[in-house]
């Protein structure tokens, strides 16, 4: 019998990646990564106002490049690829016309950022978020019940309303709005009706205030009070949503030809990237998966009968059937994780770019090589020096809110703080303080879960930081006083999509059964150091005090 394969495709913040997996033994046959060309060129991004947008053409180009790269290298396997599934960043919505075409793909809106996908970390809709939360506080029904009793600026309705208000010219053409994770399957299966798109439960329940107990989305009266601009969007949204173990449809002949695949193979329902990473990381009751990427997402699942009617306040999402079917899925996390380290690297690289980069005594090729080499080594060098530091209770301390606070208790207006700086403070000490702050923020989120009865018996770290920065993961283990495992799979989110594809193809009866074969064992094990944990507990108390002080002072300022 010939081997059967499945494809997982993930659309991340900077790139799309595809993973070809042998569905019978879990062997990862090949992978390909494709950067978003417009995003990488800095187009449609304005960091000063927290505007981050993906052009839909970036998704289309990257999709063809990453899947086509694999199938061109393995044409003999094309007929044995049984299904594909995708996941994307979320909440990352876009205004679409009646045929589910993103408005930025129309010539007249091609360069309008509000016609593009609004990336998860975009905070331009803060005013809209404030209005939504004020209105929610006045309702008899708490429609934010499943998003920590708070609706974040990073979620669907804030972004859609801001785009409509900020660009009135889009209002006539905006028939509906769609999450990126629902758009890609609709594109691949030829869905040409925005109201007929097969939406995923994960995005609808955790990002769009959809819940069975109030009959779907909040009622039209709620949106009419918020802003009537949203009523057409609400009216045209699909009424149903589906588990990622189900089909969105089958691959069209047009897209099969573009991707080098067989027409008619099943395409799974789209998923949220963090949830897909949880699946690829081996999530189950008691096993939390920590996705440490540009931001951080902490996933957990619990049987409904154990949780009862408990609502976990201050987190990002709690929904039945999200992450794993038949379980209650929980999502918490940090609005910035890897982005915090990128900030430090960019700060340290400033003289390289502005001084050496303009030094005409060095030839251009040599300048570029010097700058690129140094930039690549900044974080590794800082981590090496930070490991040597004689940290004490009085060493510099930071909070991690470079992009606001996601959890617990979202507050996206908060900014990062640092204290304990002196004339002798080194770059390594500043790096250490940032790394420690991310560990402390993670600890705070996990302890919040535990307080509400969510089991935390095992921690699995996935994502770029988990693989690239042993120093950060060890610090996390020390802070939590728990072992942390890192699986051998380099792309847990993409593997999660492949696992869903295997279920969609009928190769396994459930995600849990597919995980037994396809999930990879841990290749790295971090054990907490007792002496470091004792010190970190004292510094953690200082971290909480610093955070409380900074938050109180910011409230006074506003």
Q: How confident is the model at residue 195 (pLDDT cuts 50, 70, 90)?
A: very high
Quick check: 71 pLDDT over 80? yes
The answer to whether 400 and 432 are in contact (CB under 8 A) is no
pLDDT digits (tens, 9 = 90+) for 315-354: 988 988 889 998 999 999 999 999 999 999 999 999 999 9
% residues pLDDT > 90 (the chain): 89
Distance between CA atoms of residues 418 and 433, nearest Å: 8
pLDDT digits (tens, 9 = 90+) for 491-522: 899 999 999 999 999 999 999 999 999 998 89
Q: How confident is the model at residue 314 (pLDDT cuts 50, 70, 90)?
A: very high
- Counting runs of H as helices and runs of E as strands, what totals does the chain give? 19, 22
Quick check: 489 pLDDT over 90? no
Question: Can you list the alpha helix ranges (DSSP code H) found in 237-363?
Answer: 253-259, 273-280, 304-307, 338-354
Q: Burial-class residue 303 by CB neighbours within 10 Å (0-12, 13-18, 19+).
A: exposed
The answer to whether 274 and 331 are in contact (CB under 8 A) is yes
Its pTM stands at 0.92
Distance between CA atoms of residues 160 and 145, nearest Å: 20
pLDDT digits (tens, 9 = 90+) for 453-476: 999 999 999 998 998 999 999 999
Say what the pLDDT of residue 100 is: 98
Quick check: 526 pLDDT over 90? yes
Averaged pLDDT for residues 206-220: 95
16-20, 133-137, 487-491: range with lowest mean pLDDT: 487-491
Distance between CA atoms of residues 428 and 379, nearest Å: 10
Say what the pLDDT of residue 243 is: 95
% residues pLDDT > 70 (the chain): 100
Strand, coil or helix: 271: strand
Paired strand residues for 15:
35
Distance between CA atoms of residues 59 and 11, nearest Å: 7
Q: Quick count: other Cβ atoms within 10 Å of Cβ 127?
A: 13
- Mean pLDDT for the chain overall: 95
Token match 């008899």: residue? Answer: 140
Say what the pLDDT of residue 457 is: 96
Quick check: 1 pLDDT over 80? no
Domains and CATH numbers, the chain: 5-281+491-518 (3.30.420.40), 338-488+528-557 (3.30.420.40)
Q: How confident is the model at residue 558 (pLDDT cuts 50, 70, 90)?
A: low
Q: Nearest 5°: phi and psi at 356?
A: -65, -35
Distance between CA atoms of residues 14 and 198, nearest Å: 26
Q: Distance of CA 13 to CAs 29, 59, 87, Å? A: 24, 11, 12
Distance between CA atoms of residues 37 and 39, nearest Å: 6
Say what the pLDDT of residue 410 is: 87
Averaged pLDDT for residues 15-40: 96
């Amino acid at each position: 019998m010939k081997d059967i394969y499945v494809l997982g495709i993930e659309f991340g913040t900077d790139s799309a990646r595809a993973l070809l997996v042998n569905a019978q033994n879990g062997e990862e046959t090949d992978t390909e990564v494709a950067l978003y060309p417009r995003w990488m060129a800095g187009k449609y991004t304005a960091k000063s106002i927290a505007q981050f947008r993906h052009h839909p053409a970036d998704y289309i180009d990257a999709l063809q490049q990453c899947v086509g790269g694999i199938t061109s290298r393995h044409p003999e396997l094309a007929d044995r690829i049984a299904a594909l599934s995708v996941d994307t960043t979320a909440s990352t919505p876009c205004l679409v016309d009646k045929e589910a075409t993103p408005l930025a793909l129309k010539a007249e809106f091609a360069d309008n950022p509000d016609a593009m996908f609004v990336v998860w970390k975009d905070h331009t809709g803060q005013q809209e978020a404030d209005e939504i939360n004020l209105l929610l506080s006045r309702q008899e029904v708490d429609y934010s019940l499943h998003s920590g009793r708070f609706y974040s600026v990073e979620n669907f309705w804030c972004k859609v309303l801001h785009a409509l208000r900020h660009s009135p010219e889009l209002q006539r053409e905006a028939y509906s709005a769609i999450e990126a994770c629902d758009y890609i399957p609709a594109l691949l299966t030829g869905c040409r009706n925005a109201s007929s798109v097969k939406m995923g439960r994960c995005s609808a329940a955790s990002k769009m205030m959809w819940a069975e107990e109030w009959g779907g989305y909040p009622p039209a009266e709620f949106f009419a009070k918020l802003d009537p601009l949203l009523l057409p969007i609400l009216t045209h949204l699909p009424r149903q949503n589906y588990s990622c173990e189900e089909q969105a449809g089958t691959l069209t002949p047009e897209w099969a030809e573009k991707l080098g695949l067989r027409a008619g193979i099943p395409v799974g329902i789209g998923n949220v990237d963090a949830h897909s990473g949880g699946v690829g990381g081996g999530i189950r009751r008691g096993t939390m998966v920590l996705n440490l990427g540009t931001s951080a997402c902490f996933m957990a699942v619990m049987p409904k009968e154990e949780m009862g009617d408990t609502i976990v306040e201050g987190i990002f999402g709690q929904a039945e059937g999200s992450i794993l079917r038949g379980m209650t899925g929980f999502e918490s996390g940090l609005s910035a994780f890897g982005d915090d380290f990128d900030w430090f690297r960019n700060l340290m690289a400033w003289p390289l770019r502005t001084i050496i980069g303009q030094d005409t005594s060095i030839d251009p090729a040599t300048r570029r090589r010097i700058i690129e080499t140094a930039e690549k080594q900044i974080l590794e060098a800082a981590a090496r020096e930070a490991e040597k530091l004689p940290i004490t209770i009085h060493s510099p301390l930071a909070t991690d809110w470079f992009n606001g606070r996601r959890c617990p208790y979202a507050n996206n207006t908060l900014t990062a703080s640092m204290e304990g700086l002196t004339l002798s403070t080194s770059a390594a000490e500043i790096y250490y303080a940032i790394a420690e702050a991310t560990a402390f923020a993670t600890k705070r989120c996990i302890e919040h879960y535990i307080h509400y009865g969510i089991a935390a018996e095992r921690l699995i770290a996935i994502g770029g930081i988990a693989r690239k920065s042993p120093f950060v993961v060890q610090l996390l283990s020390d802070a939590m006083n728990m072992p942390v495992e890192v699986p051998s799979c380099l792309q847990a989110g993409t593997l999660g999509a492949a696992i869903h594809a295997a279920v969609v193809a009928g190769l396994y009866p459930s995600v849990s059964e597919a995980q037994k074969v396809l999930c990879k064992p841990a290749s790295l094990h971090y054990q907490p150091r007792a002496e470091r944990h004792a010190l970190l507990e004292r510094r953690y108390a200082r971290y909480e005090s610093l955070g409380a002080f900074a938050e109180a002072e910011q409230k006074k300022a506003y």
